């Protein structure tokens, strides 16, 4: 009986974290920066050549 309860708790915890992860992937945080943390895009490379920071640029929606 105690083993069944432990198994149910482990499954419930695993389902909780799986659902939580899916929800976070479906609704990502919106960032204002055009670069969004990307370190390899050509836009960021061009901006850094001209000494412009990506953090001060925002996307228009």
pLDDT at 17: 96
Q: Please name which of 57, 52, 13 lies closest in space to residue 35, comparing C-alpha atoms.
A: 57
Q: What is the pLDDT of residues 39-59, one digit of tens each?
A: 566 766 676 777 666 565 554
- Residue 29: the pLDDT is 65
pLDDT tens track for 4-42: 999 999 999 999 999 999 988 887 666 555 555 555 667
Q: Is residue 1 predicted with pLDDT exceeding 70?
A: yes
Integer CA distances (angstroms), 51 to 6, 31, 33, 35, 38, in order: 58, 21, 16, 15, 17
For the chain, what are the domain ranges? 1-30, 31-61
Report the run of H or E that residue 21 belongs to, with start and end.
helix 2-26
């Amino acid at each position: 009986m105690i083993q069944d309860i432990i198994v149910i708790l482990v499954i419930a915890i695993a389902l909780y974290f799986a659902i939580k992860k899916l929800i976070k992937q479906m609704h990502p945080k919106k960032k204002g920066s055009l670069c969004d943390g990307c370190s390899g895009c050509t836009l960021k490379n061009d901006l850094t050549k001209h000494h412009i920071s990506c953090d001060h640029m925002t996307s228009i929606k």
